[in-house]
Amino acid sequence: MNVLLIEDDKRIAGLVERGLREEGHSVSTSYDGIEGAAMMLGGEYDAALLDVYLPGMDGFQVLETVRARHCRTPILMLTAVDAVPKVLKAFDLGADDYLVKPFLLKILLARIGAIARRAQPVQSPLLQAAGVTLDSQRRLAIRNGRQIPLTRKQTELLDVLMRRSGLVTSREELIEAAWDDANGVKENTLDVYIHSLRTKLEDRSETKPLIRTVHGTGYIFVVE
């Protein structure tokens, strides 16, 4: 994630920055409310950590300002005061979550990840390509009006292939998508599942399979 941290305590900011970066996140930091608000409005962030007590403009003012400008960045408020009126004020102004100092870094990382995930658009369970409709929730494919029940792994494999329609998907990518323990999958297991999926999708009116083998690389869901 790309995270914006607005915190005037440089010791705390340093600890949070290090923790986020160790988890693989990118961090931009501001120690001032006015600058932090400008950064949030001018940049694209997956989440923001916003302290309440800041120079220039306090956290509540920052929150009110960015939400008034229709900024939808998920915001986690940080404060040393655990008071119900302040918590309610934060939520009223558009905060997504609230964390009281001192806090465990693991809790902070979990909270920031949760609000970022909630803000992501929900993908439609229906995929359509090359005359095939895939309903992943129902594990059902539809082709030329024919309903084709799928197993869980067949559904997961077809989902990956259809999302990458026209592009080669490597064997490794397919295995990782459908099996929890990729290392325990035998060499020909994927081929067996792809063969069964092809058989189910076959349509006598078509002369070429939808899923084609790219020797030495993987498979491709063909869109012509």
Q: What's the whole-number mean pLDDT along residues 94-110? A: 85
Residue 212: what pLDDT? 92
Span(s) in the chain for CATH 1.10.10.10: 126-221
Lowest mean pLDDT among 16-30, 170-184, 189-203: 170-184
Residue 125 tokens, joined: 């369970």
Q: What's the whole-number mean pLDDT along residues 20-33? A: 91
Residue 35: what pLDDT? 95
Residue 207: what pLDDT? 60
Residue 211: what pLDDT? 92
Residue 141: what pLDDT? 93
Q: What is the mean pLDDT of the chain?
A: 87
| Beta strands per DSSP E along the chain | 2-6, 26-30, 47-51, 75-79, 97-100, 126-129, 132-135, 140-143, 146-149, 168-170, 211-214, 218-221
Lowest mean pLDDT among 8-12, 74-78, 97-101, 121-125: 121-125
pLDDT class of 205 with cuts at 50, 70, 90: low
Better-scored residue on pLDDT, 126 or 223: 126
Span(s) in the chain for CATH 3.40.50.2300: 2-119
CATH superfamily ID and name for 2-119: Response regulator (3.40.50.2300)
Give per-residue pLDDT as tens, 83-96. Answer: 778 888 888 888 88
Three-class DSSP category at 144: coil
CA distance 154 to 138: 12
Q: By C-alpha distance, which of 161, 145, 140 is closest to 203?
A: 145
pLDDT at 73 over 80: yes
Residue 66 tokens, joined: 């960015």
Residue 206: what pLDDT? 61
Lowest mean pLDDT among 7-11, 174-178, 212-216: 174-178
Residue 124: what pLDDT? 57
Residue 119: what pLDDT? 62
Residue 202: what pLDDT? 85
pLDDT at 59 over 90: yes
Which positions ≥6 away from 202 have C-beta within 8 Å? 209
- Topology, domain 126-221: Arc Repressor Mutant, subunit A (1.10.10)
Contact 136, 127 (CB under 8 A): yes
Residue 155 tokens, joined: 């559904």
Contact 161, 130 (CB under 8 A): no
Better-scored residue on pLDDT, 63 or 124: 63
